Every structure is written in structure tokens, then in C-alpha cells.
């Protein structure tokens, strides 16, 4: 319960700061030292953190980043989290550019929802905003 009487049942957890795009609203030009893997939690540490929160009543977790699909073996982490008692909803925020080869494995591992950033349907505008390819993001859908 927070100071306003709201029950907190949701955790948003970043598993990496690294991203395959350079959206101007996330990574301004010149921003550095955000991709150092030594600063990231291990999958066991992530599981311990989520387990601590579920024991306090959190039942929904969203995996975010940067781009969480840049973490090697993300479906393995999803499977670990999916098996934690009390967790009823496990979702993923992604830019979808890398989603296509992972989608089936992530669903099988326990992802129930996916939130996708889609900044524009105009290829040139999309590239200007994200530095990435609209085609890759749409392929991930």
C-alpha cells in the first residue's frame, strides 16, 4: 500500500540499458556509459528481486530495457520468472526489431503480453526518431 492507499501489484524491471536503436527521447547524442554489462543484474539476481516483490504482493511484472531482447537467453529468464509463486502476469516491452525469432519461445516460456514501441508508420520519420528500421520492427509484429 502506498501513501495514497493504492495497492502496488506491478513491477517494471529493466534487464539491460543496451538498445539496438537510438531514439532521441531515450538516448540523446553523446550519452555514454550506459551499455556496460558488468552493471546488469544476472538472471539469478533478477529472479531474487522479482521473488522478493511477489512475496510482498506484486503479481504483475514487465520486463523492459533498453531493449531486453539484447540479453542473451532472455527466454530462459522468462521461464525462471514464470515459475515464481504469485506471479500472474509477465509482459515484455520491446521495439520489436529483434522479436521475430524469439516470439514463439517467449510465449512458451511464459510471456503473456507484449508492449511494442512504434513511433511512426512512415519509414523516414521512424528512422529519424529511432535511428532504426521500420521494416525490422514491423517484421517483429
Specify whether the CB–CB gap between 13 and 60 falls below 8 A: no
Residue 2 domain flag: no
Q: What does pTM read for this prediction?
A: 0.88
CATH number at residue 33: 3.20.20.70
For the stretch 65-76, pLDDT in tens is 989 999 989 999
Residue 71 forms part of a structural domain:
yes
**Residue 107: pLDDT above 90?**
yes
Condensed to tens digits (0 to 9), the pLDDT of residues 42-62 reads: 999 999 999 999 999 999 999
- Domain assignment present for 3: no
Is 70 part of any domain? Answer: yes
| Contact yes or no for 130/119 (Cβ under 8 A) | yes
In a domain, 109, yes or no: yes
> Residue 77 falls within a domain, yes or no?
yes
Name the residue range of residue 71's domain: 10-140
- Predicted confidence (pLDDT) per residue in 11-31, tens digit: 999 999 888 898 878 766 666
pLDDT of residue 30: 67
* Overall domain count for the chain: 1
Is residue 1 one of the residues assigned to a domain? no
The answer to whether residue 44 is domain-embedded is yes
Amino acid at each position: 500500500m502506498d501513501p495514497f492507499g493504492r495497492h502496488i501489484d506491478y513491477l517494471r524491471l529493466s534487464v539491460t540499458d543496451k538498445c539496438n536503436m537510438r531514439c532521441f527521447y531515450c538516448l540523446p547524442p553523446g550519452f555514454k556509459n550506459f551499455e556496460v554489462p558488468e552493471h546488469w543484474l544476472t538472471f539469478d539476481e533478477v529472479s531474487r528481486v522479482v521473488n522478493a516483490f511477489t512475496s510482498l504482493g506484486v503479481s504483475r511484472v514487465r520486463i523492459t530495457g533498453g531493449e531486453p531482447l539484447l540479453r542473451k537467453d532472455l527466454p530462459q529468464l522468462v521461464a525462471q520468472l514464470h515459475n515464481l509463486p504469485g506471479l500472474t502476469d509477465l509482459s515484455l516491452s520491446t521495439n520489436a526489431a529483434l522479436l521475430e525469432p524469439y516470439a514463439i519461445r517467449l510465449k512458451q516460456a511464459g510471456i503473456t503480453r507484449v508492449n511494442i514501441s512504434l513511433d511512426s508508420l512512415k519509414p523516414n520519420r521512424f528512422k529519424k526518431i529511432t535511428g532504426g528500421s521500420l521494416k525490422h520492427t514491423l517484421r517483429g509484429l
